[in-house]
Amino acid sequence: METVEPSGPSARKATIEDLPALHALWQRAGLPWNELERFVNEFQVVPGEEGLLVGAIGLQLDGAEGLLHSEAIFPGVDADEIRAALWRRAQIVARNQGAIRLWTLEDAPFWTGVFVRADKAAIEGLRASFRDPEASWSVHQLVDPARAQKLVDEQVAVWEASRQADSENLLDTIQRVRTAAFAIAGVLIAGMIFMIVYLGLRRPDVFRKILGH
């Protein structure tokens, strides 16, 4: 089946080279550009003409949770078209990194259309570093909850199997070292017995001197 590429602009990951254009975009949006530049690797951007960026949004990932933050759109462009490109990119990146849910405080109509208001239980259950129980969060479920639980269970099972395999390998290594040590000790003892017998039979004079007689 042929894949149909979405029309319109496309987004990509920001790089250090994008910082001058990002500074301009953040300043236009009234965002703290001098603080955000430390997190340039979190940002997804939509390139425009002549090296400009027409849109950017941050995507902070923390385990199974992700935060969409600090949207900046260049004035005069189709903002929702830019948001759609950023949203497509954010979902791909988040899923590839194992995220199950995305959270945001962005309140433009586009975002309220793809996110839903998070209830109190969901907010209280959030354990990500960006957690703020007093904020008015919206959430988007990237993976069906049942599927998400299955993924978590599978990851736990893989971890348990890996830990058990490591434990078995460690025990096997200890057993091999112990066996080798016993073998070496046995060879040394056998060698000593052989020398004693040899001296007693072939060199009794030396044997008596060793015994102090």
**168: number of Cβ within 10 Å:** 10
Q: Report pLDDT for 161.
A: 78
Q: Report pLDDT for 175.
A: 81
What domains can be seen in the chain, in order of their start residue? 12-143 (3.40.630.30), 150-211 (no CATH)
Q: Report pLDDT for 160.
A: 74
Per-residue DSSP letter, 25: H
Instruction: Report the alpha-carbon distance of residue 126 to residue 91 in Å, rounded.
Output: 19
Q: Report pLDDT for 44.
A: 98
Give 10-residue mean pLDDT values along the chain (213 residues): 62 96 96 95 94 95 96 96 98 96 97 96 92 95 75 67 76 79 77 69 64 60
- Strands (E) across the chain are located at 12-13, 43-47, 53-62, 65-73, 101-104, 116-117, 138-141
